[in-house]
Structure 1
């Protein structure tokens, strides 16, 4: 007997630039580039019980960086051109339809496997 589950991602696909792709994996990161995070700069010279040493992050996100990034693994031999902007539409396990820009794309060929592509998109807010 087969049961539908809320975490089932079968049938997920994405389209970009007028082409639809079959998805094998999606990673969606939401990072606040304006966060006031600090980094831990503690070292082995500190004594037991000393306060944790921290400093502000030395690198900040740019004003145009949304902090939202989607990496999609897909079946096929299409390399999506870097810096291309268009509508990224994901349907199936998750739904998303936003303007996005390709930040990287690659294709992997391996023995005893199908040709697989990977693309990372910067997504607009």
Structure 2
């Protein structure tokens, strides 16, 4: 069968030694410092064509914010404990996703959904370290 770049078949997500049967993965790469230094303080009293007014942010972001998160849906009966830590790796057809191979993670949130006539499903959000 031809390799289809839009198909996630063969994707494996591991948290430590546990492999999860996942139905969806969202990987977010965000620079926590990009455009975070200024806030817009423009007001309605400015005239047409005036420059945008900015000032430094009065509060600093969390030092724990790495800008990288992984959110995934999985099949299983057990929730993943919040604040648990370990290493995370994601592979597609045996090839590691760049930037997501054996990275330290912390679980931000996890939910478990039980419904009639459906598989037991969970959803977890991980904060992944930058290395």
TM bucket by the smaller chain? 0.7 to 0.9
User: Do 1:30 and 1:68's aligned partners in 2 also have CA atoms closer than 8 Å?
Assistant: yes
Unpaired runs of 5+ in structure 2?
A: none
Q: CA deviation at 1:31?
A: 2.2
For residues 75-118 of structure 1, the C-alpha deviation after alignment (integer angstroms, 9 at most, x for no partner) is 22221011111111212276332111111111123444322211
> After the TM superposition, which parts of structure 1 deviate over 4 Å for at least 4 consecutive aligned residues?
none
CA pair 31-50 structure 1, distance change in 2 beyond 3 A: same
Unpaired runs of 5+ in structure 1?
A: none
TM-score normalised per structure 2: 0.76
CA pair 43-77 structure 1, distance change in 2 beyond 3 A: farther
TM-score normalised per structure 1: 0.79
For residues 38-57 of structure 1, the C-alpha deviation after alignment (integer angstroms, 9 at most, x for no partner) is 23333444332222232333
Q: CA deviation at 1:17?
A: 4.0
Partner of 2:103: 98
- Cα RMSD of the aligned pairs, angstroms, is 2.4
Task: Give, in whole Å, the separation in 1 of the partners of 2:50 and 2:103.
Answer: 47
Query: Which shows bigger deviation, 29-38 or 18-27?
Result: 29-38
Q: How many residues align?
A: 124
